[in-house]
């Protein structure tokens, strides 16, 4: 089956020419007008945002710029399930996903290997039908390489046991030549999200948001999984993809990878509206 785009025309341009132009502009902003891709058989992990490109595209491109330095051609993309569709952890194990830049095939062999490692994960395409968190990563990958296959994993359940289960299934299924990307934004602050734990001026609110988001990013690069879950629980912190992020943290620990924070921003930079603020960060593990 072909999973049609649900994010084109909203999160990123529907027209392929405009989409390529926007992607090019992000890399130019980051000082990479002529980005070169070096192929690699190593394992790489990361955390990348999934908002509209206007808000998080530059931050996402910082990850993909670093990825291009040593880039495999197989990926596992782990995202949160925003809509609650499907099982607790849904793995799409066949077909392809379509964006304006073409189709990207699901790596059936790798998906089957992951599913064979754990009954906790289920083969399911329904959970992915309306979910944008994985799809918005694909145009960046397609822009850099045209020979990529991938496995989409949607986490409806994000507790620590689930993250450990997913990470273990992935670890037991790969030996190299794979990238594992967690798709996650950071805090979702404001009345629209039912989350306003701090009162004050705009500058005080943004200071609180940035301080806590950066603390999350520090825990991610330090691979402090328990600390992240304690932080999320203690503040009821509205980070949408903490489970997928934990998966990459666990894998980075298992494979001996070091983390680096590449960029941080939030939607206030564009909107100047503290009633609705989302944070965005990018991290790479090598």
pLDDT of 11 over the 90 cut: yes
Task: State the CB neighbour count (10 A cutoff) for residue 286.
Answer: 18
- The answer to whether the CB of 187 falls within 8 A of the CB of 244 is no
Spatial CB neighbours of 207, under 8 Å, sequence gap ≥ 6: none
pLDDT at 175: 83
Q: pLDDT for 48-89, tens place per residue?
A: 999 999 999 999 999 999 999 999 999 999 999 999 999 999
For the chain, what percent of residues have pLDDT higher than 70? 98
**Residue 29 has what pLDDT?**
76
**pLDDT score, position 57:** 98
pLDDT of residue 39: 86
Q: What is the DSSP string of 102-169?
A: EEEEB-HHHHHHHHHH-TTSEE-SGGGSS--TTGGGHHHHHHH-SS-EEEEEEES--SHHHHHHHHHH
Domains in the chain (CATH in brackets) are 2-285 (3.40.830.10)
pLDDT of 216: 99
Torsion angle (degrees, nearest 10) of CA 276, 82, 282, 270: -20
76, exposed or middle or buried, with CB in 10 Å at 0-12, 13-18, 19+?
buried
């Amino acid at each position: 089956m072909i999973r049609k785009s649900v994010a084109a025309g909203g999160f990123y341009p529907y027209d392929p020419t405009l989409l390529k132009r926007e992607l090019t502009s992000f890399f130019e902003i980051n000082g990479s007008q002529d980005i070169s891709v070096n192929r690699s058989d190593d394992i790489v992990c990361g955390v990348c945002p999934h908002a509209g490109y206007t808000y998080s595209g530059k931050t996402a491109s910082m990850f993909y710029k670093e990825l291009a330095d040593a880039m495999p051609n197989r990926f596992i993309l782990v995202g949160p399930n925003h809509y609650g569709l499907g099982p607790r952890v849904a793995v799409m194990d066949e077909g392809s996903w379509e964006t304006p830049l073409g189709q990207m095939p699901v790596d059936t062999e790798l998906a089957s290997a992951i599913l064979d490692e754990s009954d906790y994960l289920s083969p399911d395409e329904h959970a992915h039908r309306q979910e944008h968190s994985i799809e918005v990563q694909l145009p960046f990958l397609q822009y850099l390489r045209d020979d990529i296959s991938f496995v989409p994993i949607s986490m409806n359940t994000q507790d620590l046991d689930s993250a450990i289960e997913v990470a273990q299934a992935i670890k037991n299924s790969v030996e190299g030549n794979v990238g594992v990307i967690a798709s996650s934004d950071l805090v979702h602050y404001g009345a629209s999200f039912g989350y306003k734990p701090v009162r004050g001026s705009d500058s005080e609110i943004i200071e609180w948001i940035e301080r806590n988001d950066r603390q999350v990013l520090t825990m991610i690069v330090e691979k402090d999984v328990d600390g992240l879950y304690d932080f999320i629980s203690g503040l009821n912190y509205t980070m949408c993809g903490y489970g997928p992020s934990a998966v990459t943290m666990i894998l980075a620990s298992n494979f001996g990878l070091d983390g680096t924070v590449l960029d941080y921003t939030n939607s206030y930079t564009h909107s100047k509206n503290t009633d609705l603020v989302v944070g965005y960060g990018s991290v790479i593990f090598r």
